[in-house]
Structure 1
Amino acid sequence: MAIRRRSFLTGTAALGAGLLGGFPHIWIKDYSLARAAGGEIKVGVLFSLTGTTAIIEESLNKATIMAIEEINAAGGINGMQINAVVEDPASDPATFAEKARKLVVGDKCVSVFGSYTSASRKAVLPVVEKRNNLYFYPTLYEGRECSKNVIYTGAVPNQQQDEFVPWLVEKFGKKFFLIGSNYIYPKEENNYCKKLLEKLGGEVVNEEYVPLGHSEFSSVINKIKSTAPNVIFSTVVGDSVVALHRQYRAAGLDPAKMPMASLTTSENEVAAMGGDAAAGHFTSAPYFMVHKSPENEKFVAAYKKRWGDDKVTHFVSEACYFQMYLFKQAVEKLAQSDITPDGIREAIKGQEYVAPQGKIHLDKENLHTWLWPKIAVAKSDGQFEVLKDSAEWKAPDPYAAYPNQKCTETGLKEA
């Protein structure tokens, strides 16, 4: 289903009245107080369908649309259909800001769901804060952010690294080579990794950053060979992940001796690079497609039925899916006149939902999500094998690398 730059209503009930006749739009003039009206709830969907990160963001769009379709087909939210306005920011932060402004100011969306990279989230942040809107962000990210205008449903560093880095040191050794894409997320994740390594007596033999979309890793591979680390710790994103893995394999490096350990390589990138290039390398994330639960079996089956049997789910698409249901639960608590960004924010605090990964919880203090850390190894068949599954969900600490700071309901507090 190709949907570009237009408003649409999804679900069976929407097909007649929504697409043919349309619902009346009664919006108050002050865009900062956009609210649901005329029997529908208008939301923005802002994921890149073109550009360097489309390799991953297209699947985020798909998971979001599928959740909206499911909710609408089941009767909507208190009888109201979700009307999604889809925009393509083309993997460009400046375009993200431009499209977010259109969704919030022009389209009067009560919330926007979007972004993969932190660069794009940072570009959108001033827009939603100025207009007092809500931005649902599904991606694992670097933390060090405390905004009342963002609902964070992806993992922060402590949820991915607290178990992963000690496990890697124990299994492979203490010498780490850090390689990431050149923007804030990899640098902050590596900052946290270095703090953990320091406690474990580890060392960083080299730290490299490459531009987004980078595809030539021969110099990086040569440095890896010369420094001989025990672990290559990767925060490379987008289609660069595919290039790095393929060139690693072509160089004859052995994951049994020197694996790549990633926070960003999911089933989606593995499908793009091929199972042979991914096999033997590790990822830490709250969700993998092979996770065993009734909720995940339903999610995977529905996703394949909707988008194609060759499609895969992964830890960011799963967050896209469950955050729409958190939104639904929050809006269900509100009278129609209260379905505003402020109303939704208050209603979503403390919400819980049994997601494909397990039961998740939206922290009322910092608006981040309690998640289930897992460590998995990629297999040649394109899937992962989960090697370690957390015994309990883990609280988000977006300032884990900065213990003198804490995100609270009233804002960032200095210790």
Structure 2
Amino acid sequence: MPTIGRTRDETIEILSIVPTQGPGGIIAPSCTAAISLAVDEINSGTGILGREINLTTLDGGREPHEVAAEVAAFLATGMVGAITGWHTSAVRRAVAEAVDARVPYLYATDHEGLPDERPGVLLVGEHPDHQTVPAAAWMTRELGVRRWAVIGNDYIWPRRTARALRRSLPDPYDIIVEHYVPLGTTDFGDFLDDPALLLADAVLILMVGADTARFNRQFTATGLPAVMPRLSPAVDENVLLSAGPSANANLYVASSFFLDNKSAEGRSRRARYHRHQGRFAPVLTTFSNSTYEAIHLLNTLADTTGTLDVETIIAAAHPGLALDGPATRRGFLGNQAVGPTHLAMANGVDFDILCRLPANPGRA
């Protein structure tokens, strides 16, 4: 746990939960590298509340109850100061129950916006009403999309996000196909062979990592990308690389965390990342950037409130807590981080940012 030669009072243990197996495993190397950069940047200063960060990574690709049990064992030592990472909402729900608001838990993944989130869970990822819904509205305005087909992994985030899209549509029956598959699915024939798919104008993909890459390859083989755009809030550069450039045509992605090579901050962050990790490092992606920002948000939260006490942080965040620091997220409103959301189009294995999305688009 604590760094050798240092006492508990001199270090703060942070658990980072990222999947090292399963469909999300392709994202883990990028996330681990990005978190390491953030930790080193903070430790090179004063640390968090004057204490050096010691990071322990847990495999978030296991069954949720297994991850939660390991988290509970770490918490039982009394030495954990905070939790973060990129993992599924099913893992988050199990871990949040195990944590039970004992330490701050910064969830660095887009989420489904459940109203009963446990205290202490701070949502660094985006709510579907601020991401998927306005992106779908943009596609209606700009591309004439009215009718949707939805393909998702079978757990809470895809189902709740599809429900948010349905609520936003003028006619709820404009989702004409809705199909869910287990994590790790390799054959999407049931969805692709459904005759109703040809009645849709676009496909919303709500799957994780390698599942999305496999789907995009199979979807491309049907010839449909030429006439049917796809939208996803869960694609990063690793997914584009895994699918291959030819499988990413006509693919739109909504995200809070695109690193823009045209901006000074985007170029600076990539440069710092490559200095830290080397030229052959995993690509710094949309998702790994969110884990980087979560660590910096934790640091600025602690600096602003003077503590990592959950009740104090939540009380400060509730009316709208503004923060300074390197994150594009500049504060919290309640338990939700607030900041810009953008829409991009895949261009081979990279992204072209198209526009900033409004937070409350209204009905399409």
Do both share a fold (TM > 0.5)?
Answer: yes
Deviates more, 1:289-298 or 1:151-160: 289-298
Quick one: which of 385, 404, 413 aligns to 2:352?
Answer: 385
Q: What is the CA-CA distance between 1:308 and the residue it aligns to?
A: 4.7
Q: What is the CA-CA distance between 1:305 and the residue it aligns to?
A: 3.3
Q: Per the alignment, do residues 295 and 347 of structure 1 end up closer, same or farther by CA in structure 2, a change over 3 Å counting? A: farther
Gap runs ≥5 in structure 2 = none
For 1:371, the equivalent position in structure 2 comes to 339
Q: What is the CA-CA distance between 1:102 and the residue it aligns to?
A: 2.0
Residues 1:180 and 2:144 aligned together: no
Contact 1:326/1:348 (<8 A) preserved: no
Q: What is the CA-CA distance between 1:295 and the residue it aligns to?
A: 2.3
Contact 1:304/1:312 (<8 A) preserved: no
Secondary structure at the residue paired with 1:106?
Answer: coil
Contact 1:176/1:232 (<8 A) preserved: yes
Which protein has greater RCO, CA pairs closer than 8 Å, 6+ apart? 2
Amino acid at match of 2:33: K
Show the 5 A alignment for 1:19-58: 19=4, 22-25=5-8, 37=9, 39-58=10-29
Secondary structure at the residue paired with 1:388?
Answer: strand
Deviates more, 1:228-237 or 1:184-193: 228-237
C-alpha distance in 1, partners of 2:195/2:96? 36
Secondary structure at the residue paired with 1:389?
Answer: strand
C-alpha distance in 2, partners of 1:126/1:79? 29
Amino acid at match of 2:258: F
Residues 1:300 and 2:267 aligned together: no
Gap runs ≥5 in structure 1 = 1-6, 9-17, 26-36, 402-415
Show the 5 A alignment for 1:310-349: 311-333=282-304, 338-346=307-315
Residues 354-405 of structure 1, C-alpha deviations (whole Å, 9 max, x = no match): 546x452211xx210112121111012x111111124x7x48x9xx99xxxx
Q: Per the alignment, do residues 78 and 308 of structure 1 end up closer, same or farther by CA in structure 2, a change over 3 Å counting? A: same
For 1:114, the equivalent position in structure 2 comes to 85
Residues 1:272 and 2:242 aligned together: yes
Q: Per the alignment, do residues 213 and 151 of structure 1 end up closer, same or farther by CA in structure 2, a change over 3 Å counting? A: same
C-alpha distance in 2, partners of 1:237/1:99? 23
Residues 80-123 of structure 1, C-alpha deviations (whole Å, 9 max, x = no match): 21112222244321221012112211362021113421110011
Contact 1:46/1:100 (<8 A) preserved: no
Secondary structure at the residue paired with 1:387?
Answer: strand
C-alpha distance in 2, partners of 1:339/1:99? 22
Secondary structure at the residue paired with 1:49?
Answer: coil
Contact 2:329/2:337 (<8 A) preserved: no
C-alpha distance in 1, partners of 2:193/2:296? 46
TM value normalised by structure 2:
0.89
Q: Per the alignment, do residues 91 and 361 of structure 1 end up closer, same or farther by CA in structure 2, a change over 3 Å counting? A: same
Amino acid at match of 2:246: D
Residues 1:281 and 2:251 aligned together: yes
Show the 5 A alignment for 1:170-319: 170=141, 171-198=143-170, 203-223=174-194, 227-253=198-224, 255-290=225-260, 292-309=262-279, 311-319=282-290
Contact 1:41/1:82 (<8 A) preserved: yes
Contact 2:68/2:95 (<8 A) preserved: yes
Secondary structure at the residue paired with 2:204?
Answer: strand
C-alpha distance in 1, partners of 2:279/2:129? 34
RMSD: 2.6
C-alpha distance in 1, partners of 2:195/2:259? 31
Q: What is the CA-CA distance between 1:165 and the residue it aligns to?
A: 1.3
Q: Per the alignment, do residues 247 and 305 of structure 1 end up closer, same or farther by CA in structure 2, a change over 3 Å counting? A: farther
How many residues are matched?
358
Residues 1-25 of structure 1, C-alpha deviations (whole Å, 9 max, x = no match): xxxxxx36xxxxxxxxx44xx2123
